[in-house]
A and B are shown apart, each in its own frame.
Chain A
Amino acid sequence: EVQLLESGGGMVQAGGSLRLSCATSGFNFGSYGMGWARQPPGKGLEWVSTISDSGAGTFYADSVKGRFTISRDNSKKTLFLQMNSLTAEDTAIYYCGKFPFWGWFFDFWGPGSLVSVSS
């Protein structure tokens, strides 16, 4: 069974940093692209970042480019999101997700981790 579990969320002041982790199990982690999406309270979904299976390819939404860094440790089956220079607009539930081989959409989602940035 595929399982994803985010951790590392919490409250932080504007300008601060947080590092999210996503621990995985139930699939061959190193063979799949992974990514992050977010959802501000009461609002819709926004894609944040994607990383290829090897980690060589990364993609970012314009809203986080230059501030967020996605990475992965295939030996530990874990995905990361380093978030710097946080603003109130980054307040959201952050979901990690697994991409299938055949497209850049999440076929599995983690339960989410809340990041709250106070201004």
Chain B
Amino acid sequence: IQMTQSPASLSASVGDTVTITCRASQDITNHLAWFQQKPGEAPKSLIYATSSLQSGVPSRFSGGGSGTDFALTISGLYPEDFATYYCQQYKAFPLTFGGGTKVEIK
């Protein structure tokens, strides 16, 4: 299952709302996770089952979608949110990640 993220990068300001999209090459129902990675660090789990927040993740992060089209929305960017975000499908092996979206400071 191929996962396609867009955009590959975006520039935004603190306080902006941004949306990252992820498209699967076939129906993955809701088996979609999102991760955040900062430079020099391991990825961190944000969302699973399309829209469920991991413990401790701020409520400004939200996920939605189903089937083949999904989105991660950050409502009101904080300085610590500037990072690279990856989606991953876990409907079937091989597990596959999107190519990543880098959120940069404008």
Which chain B residues border A50 with CB–CB below 8 Å? 93, 95
B38 at the interface (CB under 8 A from A): no
On A, residues with C-beta under 8 Å from B are 44-47, 50, 59, 61-62, 95, 100, 102-112
Give 8 closest A-B pairs by Cβ, nearest first. Answer: A105-B33, A47-B95, A104-B90, A109-B42, A45-B97, A105-B90, A44-B100, A59-B93
CB-CB under 8 A from B100, the residues of chain A are 44-45
Nearest Cβ in chain A — how far from B42, in angstroms?
Answer: 4
**Chain B 51-106 residues near chain A, CB threshold 8 A:** 54, 86, 88, 90, 93-100
| Closest B residue, CB atoms, query A4 | B42
Q: List 17 extra interface pairs beyond A45-B100, A109-B44, CB under 8 A.
A: A44-B86, A44-B98, A46-B97, A50-B93, A102-B48, A103-B33, A105-B90, A105-B95, A106-B35, A106-B43, A106-B45, A107-B45, A107-B54, A108-B45, A109-B43, A111-B41, A111-B42
| Contacts from B to A (Cβ < 8 Å) | 31, 33, 35, 37, 41-45, 48-49, 54, 86, 88, 90, 93-100
Q: Given A103-B48, A105-B48, A107-B54, decide whether A112 and B42 contact each other with a Cβ distance below 8 A.
A: yes
Contact sample, A vs B, 19 pairs, CB 8 Å cutoff: A45-B35, A45-B37, A46-B97, A47-B94, A47-B95, A61-B94, A95-B42, A95-B43, A103-B33, A103-B90, A104-B90, A105-B45, A105-B88, A105-B90, A105-B95, A106-B43, A107-B54, A109-B43, A111-B42
Q: Which residue of B lies closest to A105 (CB)?
A: B33
Given contacts A105-B33, A105-B48, A105-B88, whether A47 and B42 have CB atoms under 8 Å apart is no
Instruction: Return chain B residues, CB-CB under 8 Å to A102.
Output: 48-49
List B contacts of A61 (CB < 8 A). 94
Give Cα A108–Cα B86 distance, bound, in whole angstroms: 15
